[in-house]
Structure 1
Amino acid sequence: MRRILLILSCAATVASPAMAKGFDRPVPHAQSATAEFWFVLACIALVMALAAVHMLVMRR
């Protein structure tokens, strides 16, 4: 009796992912103008920081 219950519980566990709902991919949304502005600002700040580090390293 225990073996039958064990086999049934294992079969139910293995079969449950097969009954799962399929994955629906999310739809990407366009960036807003505000997000693009902050991204450009961050890129410029990063390039300026890299240039500053380069100048500091070249002095030594």
Structure 2
Amino acid sequence: MRYIALVAFLLTPLLAHAEAYERPIPQAQSATAELWFLIASFALIVALWGVQKLVSRR
């Protein structure tokens, strides 16, 4: 009985087959996402320009 339990314990990993890892495929951005990125980029540039103006006056 001990040998049956030992063999079952040793063979258990052989029965568990895992799938191979598949890398996720990135999705393309939508036009709306690109528009919001453009708006955010311009807002960042304007904010940095404003900070530069504020710092240069002091």
Q: Same fold (TM over 0.5)?
A: yes
Aligned length: 50
Taking every aligned residue pair, what percent have the same amino acid on both sides?
52
Letter paired with 2:33: A
SS of corresponding position for 2:29: coil
Q: Deviations over 1:5-26 (max 9, x none)?
A: 8xx7xxx8xx79xx54321100
* TM-score scaled by length of structure 2: 0.68
Q: What is the CA distance between 1:31 and its match in structure 2?
A: 0.5
Structure 1: segments with no counterpart, 5+ residues: none
What RMSD over aligned residues (CA atoms) do the two structures have, in Å?
2.5
Question: Which consecutive residues of structure 2, in runs of 5 or more, have no partner in the other structure?
Answer: 1-5
4+ residue stretches of structure 1 with deviation over 4 A?
Answer: none
Partner of 2:47: 49
Structure exhibiting the larger radius of gyration computed from Cα positions: 2
Describe the SS at the equivalent of 1:28.
coil
